[in-house]
């Protein structure tokens, strides 16, 4: 299982939100590169970067920060936030992203998402499945839809999607454990490579996700608040 620390960026700074609420924002470091290098020093190879300004603005904002992270480290970066048009896709890949995460467009313009899956290959495009009460949310979690998360994933899997980041918004940033039941359902009813995100709190959570068969685990606040130590993650890598 891939261990994937998260860096969320607002105004070029490394921050975390609670339940995706922009009004519940905490800055952990004003220099995301320092954080990324710390991850790398512990032998971690992957990084999840979210442009929260971009998600809100509906266009990539912090591409320079992505470029810095990609050129100054050897981390394999997946990038999301504000990817709405082909130009955004090209910007993210040009700035050094190895994969991109597409959520809102997959809901609002599925034909565009399918074009990108075909054009760039399924290995490079991650389906973002962020949900609240099982319903898919979009645009930095500021808007909701009526799409059920499992049906959403199954439909894209049939159309070639290989990876999906599944986030239970109510769990995100709460340090109260991830949505194991939801992940078990997705794993049992699809063949998607599931990347768990949201609520991961302890190293035991990470181990359980690995044993369940998750392809990856995105870990954010637990690292920044110290409930999971980088040394523990290093030993798992």
Domain with residue 120: its CATH number is: 3.20.20.70
Identify the helix (H) or strand (E) that includes residue 57: helix 52-57
Active site residue 130: yes
Residue 141 has a pLDDT of: 67
Counting residues of the chain whose pLDDT is more than 70, the rounded percentage is 99
pLDDT at 78: 98
Place of tokens 């769990």: 171
Burial pattern 106-144, b for ≥16 Cβ within 10 A else e, equals bbeeeebbbebbeeeebebbbbbbbbbeeebbbbbbeeb
* pLDDT at residue 20 is higher than 80: no
Is residue 60 predicted with pLDDT exceeding 80?
yes
pLDDT at res. 142: 67
Of residues 51, 53, 88, 130, which has the active-site annotation?
130
pLDDT of residue 193: 98
Active site residue 170: no
For the ranges 18-27, 136-145, 146-155, the lowest mean pLDDT is seen at: 136-145
The whole-angstrom separation of Cα 103 and Cα 105 is 6
For range 173-200, the mean pLDDT: 95
Interatomic CA distance for residues 190 and 127, integer angstroms? 14
- Catalytic position from the list 8, 51, 53, 205: 8
Q: How many domains does the chain have?
A: 1
Domain range for 118: 2-236
Q: Tell me how far apart the alpha carbons of residues 59 and 51 are, in angstroms, rounded to a whole number.
A: 9
Q: For a pLDDT cut of 90, what percent of the chain falls above it?
A: 85
Q: pLDDT for 205-214, tens place per residue?
A: 999 999 999 9
The pTM (predicted TM-score) of the whole model is 0.93
Per-residue pLDDT of 79-137, as tens digits, reads 999 999 999 999 999 999 999 999 989 999 999 999 999 999 999 999 999 999 999 98
């Amino acid at each position: 299982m891939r261990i994937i620390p998260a860096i969320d960026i607002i105004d070029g700074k490394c921050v975390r939100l609670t339940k995706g609420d922009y009004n519940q924002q905490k800055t952990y470091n004003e220099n995301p590169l320092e954080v990324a290098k710390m991850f790398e020093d512990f032998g971690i190879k992957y990084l999840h970067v979210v442009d929260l300004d971009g998600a809100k603005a509906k266009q990539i904002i912090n591409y320079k920060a992505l470029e810095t992270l990609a050129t100054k480290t050897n981390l394999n970066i997946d990038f999301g936030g504000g990817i709405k048009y082909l130009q955004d896709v090209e910007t993210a890949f040009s700035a050094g992203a190895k994969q991109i995460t597409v959520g809102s467009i997959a809901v609002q313009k599925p034909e565009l998402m399918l074009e990108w899956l075909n054009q760039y290959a399924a290995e490079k495009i991650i389906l973002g499945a962020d949900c609240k009460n099982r319903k898919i949310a979009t645009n930095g979690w500021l808007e909701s839809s009526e799409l059920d998360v499992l049906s959403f994933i199954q439909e894209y899997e049939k159309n070639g999607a290989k990876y999906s980041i599944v986030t239970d918004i109510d769990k995100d940033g709460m340090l109260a454990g991830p949505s194991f039941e939801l992940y078990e359902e997705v794993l049992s009813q699809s063949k998607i490579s599931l990347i768990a995100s949201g609520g991961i709190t302890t190293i035991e959570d990470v181990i359980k996700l690995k044993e369940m068969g998750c392809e990856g685990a995105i870990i954010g606040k637990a690292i920044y608040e110290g409930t999971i130590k980088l040394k523990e993650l290093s030993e798992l890598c």
